[in-house]
Amino acid sequence: MKFSQCCNSMISWLAWSRTGACLLTASAKRKIKKKYYTRLFVGNIMTRDQICRISFPNIPGTRFIKDYNGLENCFARCFMPKSVYGYDTFMPTFLPDNAPCTENNGTICRNGDCIREKLKRRQYRPYEKR
């Protein structure tokens, strides 16, 4: 995830405070077995229309609309009908991890950026006591 400088400062402040001391303790004992490793992410499974409907669940009639240039850059433009703002418009939403990017062939979305490489198991697994 990407955070603003303000969020990063507040997260650091909490982590180094007495209240957040538990965040600095590596106490995870669970290890993800290889057979349970997730190979598919939401972006592999869901369509852009489904992503728009989940992002704006209280807006009936929302759907994905293409950008003017056909590029999405890990953002989806979701149609907002006239009943919401008084005129037809759109709202942006992030595409989930592993959603294919349209700007370059073979790239996928990861934390809001189009990248080439896929997530490796060693990057995904939790802390392991050595």
| Higher-confidence position of 11 and 72 | 11
Q: What is the mean pLDDT of residues 48-77?
A: 87
Instruction: Indicate yes or no: pTM above 0.85.
Output: no
User: Look-up: residue for tokens 């669970």?
Assistant: 30
Residue 79's SS3 state is: strand
Q: What is the per-residue pLDDT across 63-120, written as a single tens digit (0 to 9) for each?
A: 999 876 766 778 889 999 999 999 999 999 999 988 888 765 778 888 888 888 665 6
DSSP characters for 97-130?
A: TTPBPSSSTT-EEETTEEESSPPPHHHHS-----
Per the model's pLDDT, the better-predicted residue between 5 and 2 turns out to be: 5
